[in-house]
Structure 1
Amino acid sequence: MIRMILAVAAGGLAGTLIRFGVASWVSANWPKHFYLATMGVNLLGCLLIGYLYATFLVRPDISPEWRGGLIIGFLGALTTFSSFSLDGLRLLESGQLATTFGYISISVLGGLMAAWAGLALGRL
């Protein structure tokens, strides 16, 4: 159990730092488009989870620690639905209805398509 805890913690640290880096970069370069950081990491996370899921299906020899570290730790820290929800509300409250609709649509539909693409890539 301690190995799983350490794997999830290590994955979480990496995912958190990457997410922080992306958010900092977007805020510094595109402050009016703050939501792009959340949308980008969520789409990337969906692609990666699809790919990892496919990989784990054909590679049962990959340890539970690696699986937990990557999916629960890394992807759990990299992508956050709560940030997505807050960004959507902030856009809505600022009266940017078209941007709000686009952001939510691309994030949800794009996330599903990215997860499918990751699964397809992993099955190659």
Structure 2
Amino acid sequence: MIKDVLLVGVGSFVGGSLRMLISKYVQLAIAGSFPLGTMVVNVLGCFLIGIFSSLSSDNGGVSPAVRLMLTTGFCGGFTTFSTFMNEHATLLKGGDGFIISSLYIIASLALGFIALLAGRHLVMSFH
């Protein structure tokens, strides 16, 4: 368990650092207020987690520990959006498929946005 936590921590550190660098670079390179840097990181993270989650020791890929570091660690630090999309794809493979995965996406986006607004409202009520 400690080994897994350390692997995820190292991957997270590298992923989070790269997220900041790539996002800032893209945002500085492209003028405007649209958050293109974040969008680039999110899409790139989805592409990478698609690759990393498909690697298995069965097909000559990587060990479960390395896959954990790359998916939960690196991609999780790089962007949680990639994990969100990977979980959506996993739900699609399940017995309930499209309905459950669609509910997961809708509920996550709606509740996440409501929570963000609630947090902002809470802080503003004290100012």
Output the TM-score relative to the length of structure 1. 0.56
Partner of 1:68: 68
Q: Quick one: which amino acid aligns to residue 15 of structure 2?
A: G
- Structure 1, unmatched stretches of 5+, are 82-124
Name the count of aligned residue pairs: 81
- TM-score, normalised by the number of residues in structure 2: 0.55
3-state DSSP of counterpart to 2:75: helix
4+ residue segments displaced more than 6 Å: none
Quote the Cα distance in structure 2 between the aligned partners of 1:80 and 1:35.
16
In 2: Cα distance, 1:78 partner to 1:53 partner: 15
Unaligned runs of 5+ in 2: 82-127
Aligned-residue offset at 1:61: 7.1
- Please provide the CA RMSD for this pair: 2.2
**Higher Rg:** 2
Distance across 1 between alignment mates of 2:59 and 2:9: 23
Percentage identity across paired residues of the two chains? 37
Q: What does 1:13-28 correspond to in 2, within 5 Å? A: 13-28=13-28
Matched, 1:12 2:12: yes
Describe the shift of the 1:7–1:58 C-alpha distance in structure 2 as closer, same or farther (beyond 3 A).
Answer: same
